[in-house]
Amino acid sequence: MARYDRSCILCGKVYEYCNSCSAFQDKPVWMFSYCSEDCKDITSLLTDFIYNKISKEEVKQAIESKDTSRHMQYKGSYGKAYKEIMGEIDSKDVDEEVIEKKDEEIKQDVVKDMANETVSNFKSNLQSESKKVYPKAIAHKHGK
């Protein structure tokens, strides 16, 4: 059976793993997503930090025993969390980015709501107008 190249969801490293190949039966299931146990553990720690389940100090202490040589490849919220933990960015900068993103999402939601309301109002006005005209058209057609 053909082997598949996988890409680690944390560090992006390409590795070989196939969950249906007999050659990989002795490998753990988490290898479907992670290239190493360190990446799996780091992802779990960063997720707990992002959701405020553990403190920055606890995460930093736990991560120091892991291989973070590919930390520059961490993307998205994991990359930001890692940089914040290691002091590469200030938590204030992260908060501002989150606030900006939330503001943009709110603006988009407001625009969508306004568009939906406008369409809804247009449809209801169109229906009410057609009801006004329709009886007159029937009356005229039938000579009444």
**How does pLDDT run across 119-144, given as a tens digit for each residue?**
666 666 666 665 555 555 555 555 55
How many domains does one find in the chain? 2
Instruction: Tell me how far apart the alpha carbons of residues 67 and 38 are, in angstroms, rounded to a whole number.
Output: 6
| pLDDT recorded at residue 37 | 95
Residues 67 and 125 in one domain: no
| pLDDT recorded at residue 132 | 58
Structural domain ending residue among the three candidates 48, 66, 89: 89
Which phi-psi region, left, alpha or beta, contains residue 12 (left: φ > 0; alpha: ψ -120 to 50)? left
Angle of CA points 78, 79, 84, to nearest 5°: 100
| pLDDT recorded at residue 1 | 41
Residues 75 and 123 in one domain: no
Q: What residue numbers bound the domain in which 132 lies? A: 91-144
Residues 134 and 108 in one domain: yes
| pLDDT recorded at residue 60 | 92
Structural domain ending residue among the three candidates 89, 113, 130: 89
**Taking the model in full, what pTM does it have?**
0.59
pLDDT 10s digits, 62-73: 999 999 999 889
Residues 57 and 110 in one domain: no
- What element of type H or E holds 33? none
Low-confidence ranges of the chain (pLDDT < 50): 1
